[in-house]
Amino acid sequence: MSTLTTNAEAVTNAPDLEVLARPPQVLNNRNPHWVTGAVCSIVEGRTPLWWWIGFAISATFAGIGGACILYMIVTGVGVWGSNSPCFWAWDITNFIFWVSMAHAGSMISALLFLTRQKWSISIARVSEAMTVFAIMCAGVYPAIHIGRVWFVWFLFPVPNSYGMWPNFSSPLLWDVFAVTSYLTVSSLFWFAGMIPDLSVLRDRATTKIRKFCYGLFSLGWLGTARQWRHYEMMYVLLAGITSVLVVTVTTIVSSDCATSVVPGWHATIFPFYFMVGAVYSGSAAILTLLIPLRLAYPQLKDLITPSQLDKVCKLLLLMGSCVAYVYVIEIFNAWYSGNAFEKGAFWERFHGIAAWYPITCLSINLIVPQLFWFKKVRHCLPLVFVLAILCNVGMWFERFMIVTTSLIHDFLPSSWHDFHASIVDILTATGTVGIFFTLFLLFIRFVPVINMSELKAVLPGSQPDHPTGGEGH
């Protein structure tokens, strides 16, 4: 009798399970049919006016950037603001910036998929697209910053006509392998996830051209049990490889600096430094893309929920705190090292002629992420959008601070030289921004922006153990 009483008391004192319930992945109890219609309507509907305006602007910037690259190839790298000793400046800064931005997309789409974090399903495809497009923008720079573009094939593992081989000890060659591998695997991972959804667009197509195009890219998908088995196995393998590349690619890019003996670069903390900074800037970029997307297409507000954006804000907060920790450790190591050149480099970094770069970087990256501790800030989407842009601006200044301020102060004060960006530097950088948004606008116009097949699997009633047993779906 006492045992029964104890059990009854335990049940009575049990926590309220409703308090622990997770927020829904889709709001307003939408069913699978509504999800399909909402996502496909973006592709199947008429192209809105704002899309044409945005595409024209971004394509114009991309064209100007391409013209500047052609002008640099014909004239020479002297049209950049680079000088001696600052041979690396905006070219490497933007390369690292774009590579870093790509990593949060891979982390959200691949790593969270492997850990079965269902909140990332609605934003995973946009993250994957951001990864691929950012890597393509980064790939512009290794080809042009070597100066003689016609020798770019020296970076690949093929012997040239003189029987020589590329220098495999060069960090620049490591970049080629890292970026090529990352672009290949990320593109396969992105495309593989779209195959079931492309077949839906194929079946809904009303014209022969659309039916042929979507049928071609859906690779004959019929949704059979055998196809799903192979698809899931392939998707898990690609997610695992992509998750590994999130770490290795950033580590390789950081080795460009860490393996040198330049004061301000020669630090073992750089792999971790670049890793957390990459996820930090990428998280900010995802917020910058998702918030206007929800505004442009109101039907996505039930699919990209405030709860999911709140979690991305928390991820940004976590990585921003890690970045702040690295700043402190980096300054401490410079002081504790006892190396006069290292101390001098950091002293000049914050008190020299280029001090406004690190001051701007620290002012943004130390203050802005900490605002996301407050729930009201995370739930105010216009404010989140502005803060996310500021975070990316701060991270660009961080890359520029690392690359440029470490080079303009060489070992000999007599060789110190300030850097000033030329108009070609600026227009080439804005050209890569134009390439990125041109590709992104084409993506949202012709490809489902949300993984419909995965999202339907987490809807209430879709699971076999649900009380409704899938009834009505």
Residues 453 and 188: their CA atoms lie apart, in Å, by 18
d(C-alpha 471, C-alpha 450), whole Å: 24
The pLDDT assigned to 467 comes to 55
What's the pTM?
Answer: 0.88
Angle, in degrees to the nearest 10, between helices 381-404 and 306-336: 30
Handedness of CA 170, 172, 177, 181 (dihedral sign): positive
What is the mean pLDDT, run by run of 10 residues, along the chain of 473 residues? 48 51 79 89 91 95 93 88 82 87 81 84 90 89 79 69 66 78 89 92 91 92 91 90 84 81 84 88 92 92 91 92 91 85 83 83 92 93 94 91 82 79 91 94 93 84 56 47
The tokens for 318 are 């976590």
Average pLDDT, the chain: 84
pLDDT at 2: 47
Rg, Å, the chain Cα set: 25
Cis peptide before 85 (omega within 30 of 0): yes
pLDDT at 197: 92
Residues 186-206 have pLDDT tens digits of 899 999 989 999 999 999 988
pLDDT of residue 4: 46
Per-residue confidence (pLDDT) for residue 166, from 0 to 100: 66
Rounded CA separation 150/21 (Å): 60
pLDDT digits (tens, 9 = 90+) for 24-76: 888 888 888 888 999 999 999 889 999 999 999 999 999 999 999 999 888 88
Sign, CA dihedral 398-363-285-313, equals positive
**Structural domain 44-147+159-457, CATH architecture:** Up-down Bundle (1.20)
